């Protein structure tokens, strides 16, 4: 191939590479904008099904609905048929023993383990339980969430062992890694729900 033709081909390849690379960058930029857009986040990253139920029971039991939504998102991603390997059931991943105790506290004689798959019952029980934990731990959401994940007995033991104050806020001091990560995830999700669903 003559030198002039080789140079022309080289110029064309460089022009194609320049414009092709620019197109790729533009597409990546557009995808990033779409990914971080409010509609995308609402529809795919932070949906809020069952919002009316969450709002109803959050108001009844004086729990921030964004916190309740964040617990559901973290526990089950809003899938009401979910079972954990430990036996927790439904949207708010309630253990059958805990749910049976809650049913007694709520004077609900119609409770059954199968009924925990009913979104309304699961949300009602879960939000009531979250409220009871907030009361037990003086409205400290970090301690209440830690108890939701690890059990109230463990949290009471940690308070006694480490001398945690009522205004405890050092999530990294929680002894269980799973619980530390759980509390951080719920609080991050709560912030997102507050941003997206004011």
Active site residues: 75
Contact 136, 113 (CB under 8 A): no
The CA distance from 186 to 69, in Å, is: 9
Q: Quote helix, strand, coil % in the chain, to nearest 5.
A: 70, 0, 25
Write out the H or E segment, with its range, that includes residue 171: none
Residue 80: name the closest of 134, 132, 35, 119 by CA: 119
Other beta carbons within 10 Å of 16: 10
DSSP state of 77: T
The CA distance from 127 to 90, in Å, is: 13
Q: Per the structure block, which two tokens stand in for 117?
A: 């798959």
């Amino acid at each position: 191939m003559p030198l002039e033709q080789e140079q022309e081909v080289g110029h064309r390849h460089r022009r194609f590479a320049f414009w092709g690379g620019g197109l790729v960058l533009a597409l990546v930029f557009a995808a990033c904008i779409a990914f971080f857009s409010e509609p995308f986040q609402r529809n795919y990253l932070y949906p809020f099904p069952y919002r009316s139920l969450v709002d109803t029971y959050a108001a009844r039991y004086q729990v921030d609905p964004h916190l309740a939504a964040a617990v559901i998102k973290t526990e089950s991603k809003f899938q009401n048929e979910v079972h954990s390997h430990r036996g927790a059931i439904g949207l708010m991943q309630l253990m059958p023993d805990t749910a049976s105790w809650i049913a007694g506290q709520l004077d609900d004689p119609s409770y059954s383990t199968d009924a925990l798959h009913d979104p309304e019952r699961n949300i009602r029980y879960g939000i009531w339980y979250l409220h009871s934990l907030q009361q037990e731990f003086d409205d400290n959401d970090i301690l209440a969430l830690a108890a939701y994940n690890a059990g109230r007995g463990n949290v009471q033991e940690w308070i006694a062992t480490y001398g945690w104050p009522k205004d405890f806020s050092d999530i990294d001091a929680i002894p269980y890694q799973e619980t530390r990560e759980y509390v951080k995830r719920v609080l991050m999700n709560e912030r997102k729900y507050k941003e997206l669903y004011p």
